[in-house]
Amino acid sequence: MWMMRGQHRWFSARDVEFEPEETVVATWNELAIARPLLIERARALFLIEQPDAPGPAGLGYLATVRADGGPRVHPISPAVLDGHLYAFILRKTPKAADLLRDPRFALHSWPLPFTDEGFDDEEIHLVGRAIPVADPALIARVGVAVGDDPTGGVVFELDLVTAMHKHRRGGLTYDVWRASDRH
């Protein structure tokens, strides 16, 4: 539960209207077609398909909504298979319960390492809806891609609502894409 500044009424997640059927979503591939340069940077910043990775998975921070409405953030290994973005979540973790109860998520890129020139705060974040996957063959493929035992987790397809890429090449730039813009 949280309280809005200057207010005396406490709010919880139950007070917020949530109508996922009204939200326009897109797949990773649809975003790649619409914004190939943004997806190129996303692949790099999420470390997807790096040469030393166990499979076509990367690293990112997944934010979910706890039962009390508060945020929860954990590192995960997102995987891109057949043009779709997936998250493999261990079955007994709180974030799996979070996504099964409330499918909203945010996925933020891993920070770039410091260099001799300083810190580069380039980032990508994706916002959307997590849809549980029921196909055992796909669950197995995602488990292998992230280097985990497929029987120990739940797989979610991450449908995208918005994507944002921030960088400082040529000045501070925010490149924002919305799935609803393509309709």
Widest pairwise Cα distance in the chain: 53
pLDDT of 41 above 50: yes
Classify residue 110: in a domain, yes or no: yes
Classify residue 6: in a domain, yes or no: no
Gap between the Cα atoms of 58 and 178, Å rounded:
23
Q: Do the beta carbons of residue 72 and residue 96 sit within 8 Å? A: no
Domain extent at residue 41: 23-182
Averaged pLDDT, 36-48: 87
Report pLDDT digits (tens) over 140-150: 999 999 888 99
Domain containing residue 117: CATH number: 2.30.110.10
Gap between the Cα atoms of 14 and 32, Å rounded:
34
Radius of gyration of the chain (CA): 17
Classify residue 122: in a domain, yes or no: yes
Mean pLDDT for the chain overall: 83
Bridge partners of 173, per DSSP, are 167
Report pLDDT digits (tens) over 120-178: 788 999 999 999 999 999 999 999 998 889 999 999 999 999 999 988 777 788 889 99
Q: Do the beta carbons of residue 42 and residue 58 sit within 8 Å? A: no
**Whole-number pLDDT of residue 4:** 39
Classify residue 12: in a domain, yes or no: no
Report pLDDT digits (tens) over 79-118: 999 999 999 999 889 999 999 999 999 999 977 776 777 6
Residue written as tokens 């796909």?
138
Written as six digits, the tokens of 183 are 């309709």
